[in-house]
Amino acid sequence: MSLKKQYLKSKPLCKVTFSLPKEAASSAKKVAVVGEFNDWNSKALPMKKLKDGSFKITQDLSVGQEYQFKYLIDGKTWENDWSADKYVSNEFTTENSVVVL
């Protein structure tokens, strides 16, 4: 898993690429990135499945913010990003990944 950040010079935005490797979702048919930036809507940001079996999506996010998120695999399994900037506890006694911009 990885978070790739590309800061824009012309706007206070960062293009964040979320990726989930095949090893984390080997038999997945669909994966979505779900978080504060899309009101935890599991249908808002479906990730594209690549030929190598990994999943990827790029999203513009505001600079100077922190966003909690998770990956939702096949609508039932939640997975954190192994390379998140940090993790915070949530109300389900688990942790959410956080991207810091």
Q: What is the CATH number of the domain that holds 70?
A: 2.60.40.10
| Number of domains forming the structure of the chain | 1
Look up the domain containing 47 and give its range.
Answer: 2-100
Q: Contacts from 21-28 at CB under 8 Å and sequence distance 24+? A: 21/54, 22/52, 22/53, 22/54, 24/71, 24/79, 24/82, 25/53, 25/54, 25/55, 25/71, 25/73, 25/79, 26/53, 28/55, 28/73, 28/74
What confidence tens digit (pLDDT) does each residue in 2-21 have? 799 999 999 999 999 999 99
Tell me the pTM: 0.93
For residue range 58-100, list pLDDT tens digits in order: 999 999 999 999 999 999 999 999 999 999 999 988 999 999 9
